[in-house]
Amino acid sequence: MSIRNIVNAYDQLDAFDLRVLRIIEIGHRKFEFVPLDVIVNWSKKPEELIGKSLRRLNSLGMVIRYRGNYTGYRLTFMGYDALALHTLAKRGIVEALSPTPIGVGKESDVYAGDAIGGGKIVLKFHRLGRTSFRQIKRFRAWIGDRRHITWLYESRLSAHTEYKALVLAYNAGLSVPKPITVNRHTVVMSYINGALLSEVNEVDDAEDVYWGIIEDVRKMFRDVGVVHGDLSEFNVMISLDDNKPYIIDWPQWVPRNAVGALDLLHKDILNVTRFFVRRFGLDVDVEEVFNYVIGGVE
């Protein structure tokens, strides 16, 4: 699913189609597949008009139809993308998106974009599937036992979780992308002109870059009370402008006092240290660094 296909499909929608998508989105609070009669009742429009819109949305891949003991509809990620992009455009956040992603992972797609008024931004679309058991387990404490919960809602929780961490980190002065806004499953942040640390073979001062990362990990732990939880060379970007490291990808962060937080912190430090030892030949003791990060924290 490319963003070009999403935009092309979005351009074929009218205001009523978007309203129907929104009704289905709201209906997901109670149903995995929102019954047709519920959609008709909430829209206060004739069933014939609703049916025409649903057929168009289904043909565009924005909804999936269920036929069993009742007829119901569920949003797809394409439909959810359309709602998010519509809202972001109306709010004056995004004007255009790159046709190809700058990053694709198991749980997200990342696109560069142009902000209205100028400047480059990044849009990260969270896409948790039914097999994302790690994230679902984390969110279960928030969503309770709502068995109808959809992967779209899980993705929304993931996006809002990451956005909260970015706000905390950015406000504390850490080197992270500047958070701009979040809508549904989409986080909008500043664009970093750089490369993933995993793709970097040479840096001006590897030791300085390493300690820049560690100092941010320490500050986030000690001052903000947060552990990244999945830190490695694959979620640190090195700026091509000033060689500065930026920590990205925060949806799995945990509070400092969470069960297992220290183990996650140790793993974060171990992952980064091993990479710098292997790639750049740094002589660093993981346990000393770990003790430095947590020293004096009750």
> What single-letter amino acid sits at 101?
P
SS3 149: coil
Give the DSSP H/E element, type plus range, for residue 189: strand 186-190
Strands 236-239 and 194-196: antiparallel
Q: In whole angstroms, what is the distance from residue 230 CA to residue 56 CA?
A: 41
Other Cβ atoms closer than 10 A to 214: 21
Cβ 170 vs Cβ 246: under 8 Å: no
Contacts of 7 (CB under 8 A, 6+ apart): 85, 97
Contacts of 246 (CB under 8 A, 6+ apart): 175, 176, 177, 192, 194, 236, 237, 238, 239
Catalytic residue among 81, 230, 249, 268: 230
Write the DSSP symbol of residue 186: E
Q: For this structure, is 230 an active site residue?
A: yes
Catalytic residues: 230
